[in-house]
Amino acid sequence: MNTNPLTCNTNPGCLRHSVGRLPPRHPAVRNKHSPRQCANTQDNNNALSVLSAIGKDDTVRVYAGAAKALQRDPVHATAIHGESGLDGTELLPPPALSALDTSTPAIDAMASALWACEPGTPWVVATGALTNIAELFAAYPDLKSHVAGVSIMGGSVGGGFTAAVMGCVDDVERIGNYSQWAEFNVLIDPEAAAALLHDPILAPKSTLVPLDLTHLVLATKEVQDLLLQGVKPATTAKATEGLENKGFKAKSTLRQMLVELLMFFAETYRDVFGIIEGPPLHDPLAVAAILTGTKYEIPFYDFDSANPKAPAQRERFEVRVITEGTLEDARDKGTQTGRTIVRLLPPGEEGVRIPRGLNIELFWKTIEECCQKADEANARNAGIV
């Protein structure tokens, strides 16, 4: 069976949605390396703990990536993710320190892993700031033509790009999650995002997964049941009661931990963004997007599949990242630093792929299957089976 090799660039906050670490359990994915952006000891330990939780600490290597953005100071979103970077659960196992590799710089390790793959097969998936990836292709420009593509969770479009609720703060409509106009991963290093999305070789093979898409993929009560209990969920009432007091009976400790982490943001998304059905999931969508063309494909749509009048057409975009200004001005004064502005290209012209929808039911089914594989691996490691 063909698999998609990938190197996954993460940041401390992306592990908040630890379901994002489940795709290494997907049969079509071979995770090679996981470089960490702006990592300190706690950040590294979080990554190592999550790998241990899903039983992949023996096959995935973790490297400490860039300590700061290309041209800016580092940013740690403690107000969002908590002091630990993974507040919301007490079920994380001890970090698997053996998975941390300090023998090679992260960029060199990524390059070696990518060069070891057949040309046109490996993917680079970024679910955090894009500093590591920008530095990778700057140091190894020939990799641009070697990789199959780059899949990025980041950015936001707005303007009704999808039917997603984007949010309103202090009576001001917004399209970003960290500022009025910008999504966090792009905002904290807009120069890195621009280097990738403006690149004539990389742009046509890049997929951008913005907030407009991730805000459609919600951890509803039914989804919570599915993740807690597997394919035969308990009643919604039992699951939601458990989420209030954390006394629910999950199928495994892993599943309980994942749902606790997912629900950590539920109140914020409800009160700030107006998303009441459940919190959205972000990072795994960037991994799911690389399954296109495989037997495990989760359909992503270049159009609004819920609108019968929407034309089913192949869309590609020119993406411009605003790099002028400071993060403080963007956050406090409403400037557009870090905003991703897109322009639909004429039919047939190549550019960045920005899906407007996906098969959400199949996506959650795939996530549950990854949970099941992680449960089975943990049982084997514990000598239960």
Q: Residue 319: name the closest of 215, 195, 174, 177 by CA.
A: 195
282 catalytic residue (yes or no): yes
* Max intra-chain CA distance, the chain: 57
Distance CA 190, CA 196 (A): 10
Q: Which residue has the tokens 């409800």?
A: 270
In eight-state DSSP terms, residue 100 is B
Q: Residue 38: name the closest of 132, 111, 177, 127 by CA.
A: 132
One-letter amino acid for residue 115 of the chain: W
Q: CB of 211 within 8 A of CB of 285?
A: no
For residue 218, give the 3-state DSSP assignment.
strand
**Which tokens is 143 given?**
């990799």
Beta strand spans in the chain (E): 4-9, 29-36, 61-64, 123-126, 149-153, 168-169, 172-173, 206-209, 300-301, 317-321, 340-344, 357-358
Q: Which of 26, 33, 81, 282 is catalytic?
A: 282
Indicate the pairing of strand 61-64 with strand 29-36: parallel
**Which tokens is 198 given?**
């403006």
Q: CB of 319 within 8 A of CB of 190?
A: no
One-letter amino acid for residue 124 of the chain: V
Residues designated catalytic: 282
